[in-house]
Chain A
């Protein structure tokens, strides 16, 4: 685990929420038992800072007043039952929700202190800084080389072919895929196995040297061996990147993350050290979920 000091969780959380009485009221109305996030949602090394985030799909509210920090070089796992809003929350962080008709995000979201949802923010450089890996491996129907080179090409990162070659090789090496594909870089990326495809997608994401990588259930379509390989990779990537990962597998959360956030019905119930969450959860809902009473 990285050296990281955490603010006193519950007190601050309660204070933060008190600033937004309307949201609190709303929360009380919909689900009286969860109002405040317990544990340690904040970090003094915050890379991503989210305060009082509310997300709406048209009339329906998907995220209720979530406040959370994701620290530098930290892996934060987001767990919770299906439909609890963890993917929605993740997709707010690089504004992938923009494309969804009727989706509205409220609250304060910053990356290194800069607003993510500012009126003048250009999503193109934002998404270059905050990369994303999706649930289903989605390589482009192009060659392996072109898949990885796509980001550097569109952002004009590499000016010469040799530079591009180097970026492609380094990215594939860091994604642990180089040895498997170095002889067939011109073959289609979609011809790889599921696990290889997902590592290719990770290589593609890190080719533009993002600061944050968002992973939305990256292993849910993979077999255990490929999953183990990706998990190792996440651990290695932590050295250079800040990672937020949504997962349905509690074992995975336990293996790869430093902190774990438990979402329930669009609310952030508990954030704590991963060990604490899985051995001694503070909130009864968290306990109920990790012991398998619902999910």
Chain B
């Protein structure tokens, strides 16, 4: 290299200075652009979901003057058996006939009865069951309108003529009449949060799927976190580094990339066919999702164990702590926040997982809210899939609403994780 004077060196540095600054600016610009793109995508997604789904949280209800007439109901006392037989639909029909006395034809009457959800009878039954004194009395109740009515009413806020669909002109006239008299209102949709799935959109709710998801996640967390952390600690702290542990590591990394449907097939073959566990149950779902999330948890736990400074291990070992004590007293507390983050990422993945659960029967049409991990149930993402697949127009908004519930659960979980991490993190 030739000798350069200091001035020459400085000139060369300055000559490149502008391009160095320019590169830095471009790099920063790329960063900002990609973040902006991400934020925009999230905004579009959220606006789309919320604008479609928000209306599902209200439901058109019709005010009816019902008379719990023993003759009409066909019962003379209120007990379990008589309630099962009682003709509540008849009571609702007569209430509708009273409201619109000039409807006479058979076809017209049927049209009239279809104003109200065919699940409305159950509401009356519940009311009478909780208050037997109502028998023979009459009261004013709000019952869910049919989904076609609901769709029409909701579409009226968008355009003056509204979306009629299967609704006849005559029915539309009745609806307008009820609306003007204040007997048809959009009220908060409690059914959506208290019911399970239904073929009738106005009776369909998210409760069963939500409970199913939570039970499944509980099983997943209870199994995958301890197993994953134990495996990570063993591999990182105790296992000798040889060909076998290398092989295990490669396999774990591979498993993390296996398509989830494969785990579903495995679960079907092993847990259901071989061990004969119940189909569609959160227990099996949880087991399958455990298989799926274990690699994620092991990998992130190992990474956070690796990041504990070796000086802490040396200090503890130099004090005569056994390997177990080094891990339990010093390494684990420092690695815990990272492990939790990994576990939460795994859980979030599990919450959104659909494919493997289809394989083990969680896609079945299940109306009841599950009460335990062996009850048949469905989960949020599968419920979203089922609703998105349904032809009724009212399921469109319910699909978006279910997505909102799923997102809310996710956000709650992540908030908990951040809070836990902050709490466990040592600030010194």
Contacts and interface: CB of A to CB of B under 8 A. Distances in A.
Interface of A: 94, 96, 99, 101, 123-128, 131-132, 134, 136, 138-141, 150-151, 154-155, 188-191, 201, 204-205, 208
23 contacts: A96-B314, A96-B318, A99-B313, A101-B241, A124-B321, A126-B320, A127-B319, A127-B320, A128-B320, A131-B319, A134-B315, A136-B311, A138-B314, A138-B315, A140-B312, A141-B426, A141-B428, A150-B316, A154-B325, A188-B428, A190-B428, A191-B428, A204-B319
B412 interface: no
A190 B428 CA distance: 6
Residue of A99, A190, A204 with most partner-chain B CB within 10 A = A99
A132 B426 CA distance: 25
B317 A139 contact: no
B314 A134 contact: yes
A220 B311 CA distance: 15
Contacts of A125: 320
A139 B319 contact: no
Nearest to B315: A138
A124 B322 contact: yes
Contacts of B143: none
A141 B320 CA distance: 18
A126 to B, nearest CB: 8
B317 A140 contact: no
- Nearest 3 A/B pairs, CB to CB: A188-B428, A127-B320, A132-B318
A140 B316 contact: yes
B52 interface: no
A138 B322 CA distance: 18
Given A140-B330, A191-B428, A124 B315 contact: no
Interface in B270-316: 309, 311-316
Given A138-B312, A141-B312, A127 B317 contact: yes
B217 interface: no
Nearest to A131: B318
Contacts of B428: 141, 188-191
B320 A154 contact: yes
Interface residues of B, number: 20
Contacts of A150: 316, 319, 321, 329
A140 B318 contact: no
A139 B318 contact: no
A189 B428 CA distance: 8
B334 interface: yes
A208 B320 contact: yes
Contact of A205 (B309, B311, B318): B318
Nearest to A95: B317
A9 to B, nearest CB: 31
Given A138-B311, A140-B312, A188-B428, A151 B319 contact: yes
Contacts of B311: 134, 136, 138
A285 to B, nearest CB: 31
Main secondary structure of the interface of A (DSSP, over half): helix
Choose among B311, B315, B320, B325 the residue with the greatest number of A CB atoms under 10 Å from its CB. B320
A101 B245 CA distance: 14
Contacts of A132: 318
A140 B315 contact: yes
A125 B319 CA distance: 9
A126 B312 CA distance: 19
Contacts of A128: 319-320
B415 to A, nearest CB: 26
A205 B426 CA distance: 23
Nearest to B322: A124
B318 A134 contact: yes
A187 to B, nearest CB: 9
Residue among B313, B316, B319, B329 with most chain A CB within 10 A: B319
Contact of A141 (B314, B318, B334): B334
Contact of A208 (B241, B315, B319, B426): B319
B314 A139 contact: no
Contact of B320 (A99, A140, A155): A155
Of the listed residues A125, A127, A188, A190, the one surrounded by the most CB atoms of chain B closer than 10 A to its CB is A127
A154 B317 CA distance: 11
Interface string B199-216: 000000000000000000
A29 B199 CA distance: 89
User: Of residues A128, A141, A204, which shows the largest number of chain B Cβ atoms within 10 Å of its Cβ?
Assistant: A141
Interface in B308-356: 309, 311-322, 325, 329-330, 334
Contacts of A204: 315, 319
B388 to A, nearest CB: 50
B218 to A, nearest CB: 32
Interface in B92-108: none
Contacts of A136: 311
Contacts of A131: 318-319
Contact of B319 (A99, A188, A205): A205
Contact of B317 (A99, A155, A190, A191): A99
Contact of A154 (B241, B313, B321): B321
Nearest to A127: B320
B328 to A, nearest CB: 10
B245 to A, nearest CB: 12
Contact of A124 (B309, B320, B329, B426): B320
Contacts of B241: 101
Nearest to A204: B319
Contacts of B314: 96, 134, 138
